[in-house]
Amino acid sequence: MKATACLLAAIALLCDSIAARKSYLVKEEHKGMIPNVGATSYPYEKFYENFDDSLFVYYQAKLAAAWEWNQVMEENQDAYPDVYHLTLDIIFKQSAYFSPVFNFPRLIYLEPVLNVEEFTVGYKVDIAKFWIYPDRTDLLCFSSMFKISDRTILNTLIMRFQECYKTLWNCIYNLDNWSSEDAKYFENCSQSSKTTITTFEKEWEEETFGVMGSDDDDILRTGSNCTPGTGFWPFFIGDLQTSFTNNLLHYVAGKSGYGNK
């Protein structure tokens, strides 16, 4: 009998351990489903956290530098060279993000977000050659300028509110929901769905300033604001169509009078 009692006690203890383990696992799974860190990949600092309440601050400020070369060759309607651009862009890309997340499920959820979308600040150098027909007084133009791309600042507020209910009267002769040992002030509470409010939004268009020369081909083609214009670098001017070396030799020979002998 004692052996049987010990065996039953061991089985009961094992069952209790298994039940306790199952309860622990369910609680852990439930804890992982509480949205206390937000759905974002930004770096964050944790200022407060317990089982379901938390205060996190997400932030990021990015700055990147780059340079980029670009070449564009355009032809006119007769398939002759019209304009050639060689540009160098030195740019800085930047963006910023800041969002404190107050997550207190029994009270309120607040997530203000300040987002400065990525934009660029840079300096552009442009070398342009224009073919001028029919007299072929071709132009060589150097231009440079500072440029700021489109910018957008957006401030939003995401909120959730607590929703609770209490049964005031279940039966005319039964007031257990007020007077019993299991009576609660509120029988069930949950958070509302998220609501996003845009509190501030500002956009700026692309800006160009500090221009030397021009960023308008129509202006440069007239020779206005075009430096050095004509009369510079023989291989860019006139009706010279061969390689640099041959163009240079033809230019030197012409200036020395060899072409007239």
- The total number of residues shown for the chain amounts to 261
Q: Which two tokens stand for residue 233?
A: 């670098």
Instruction: Give pLDDT tens digits along the chain (261 positions).
Output: 555 555 445 554 444 444 444 333 434 443 444 444 444 688 889 999 887 789 999 999 999 999 999 999 998 888 888 999 999 999 999 999 999 999 887 778 899 999 999 999 999 999 999 988 888 888 999 999 999 999 999 999 998 887 777 777 777 777 776 777 777 776 777 777 888 899 999 999 999 988 899 889 999 988 888 988 885 554 444 444 444 544 554 555 555 555 444
| Helices and strands (DSSP H and E) totals, the chain | 4, 10
End-to-end CA distance of the chain: 135
What are the strands, taking DSSP E only, across the chain? Answer: 44-49, 54-75, 81-104, 108-130, 139-148, 151-165, 188-191, 195-204, 207-212, 228-229
Match 């033809």 to its residue by tokens.
250
Check residue 124 and give its pLDDT: 94
Check residue 256 and give its pLDDT: 58
What type of residue sits at position 76? Answer: N
Domains of the chain by residue range:
23-163+191-251
The pairs formed by 144-147 with CB atoms below 8 angstroms and a separation of 24 or more are: 144/211, 144/212, 144/213, 145/208, 145/209, 145/210, 145/211, 145/212, 145/213, 145/215, 146/121, 146/122, 146/208, 146/209, 146/210, 147/120, 147/121, 147/122, 147/123, 147/206, 147/207, 147/208
- Alpha-carbon span 234 to 242, nearest angstrom: 11
Check residue 7 and give its pLDDT: 47
Q: Which two tokens stand for residue 114?
A: 């300040």
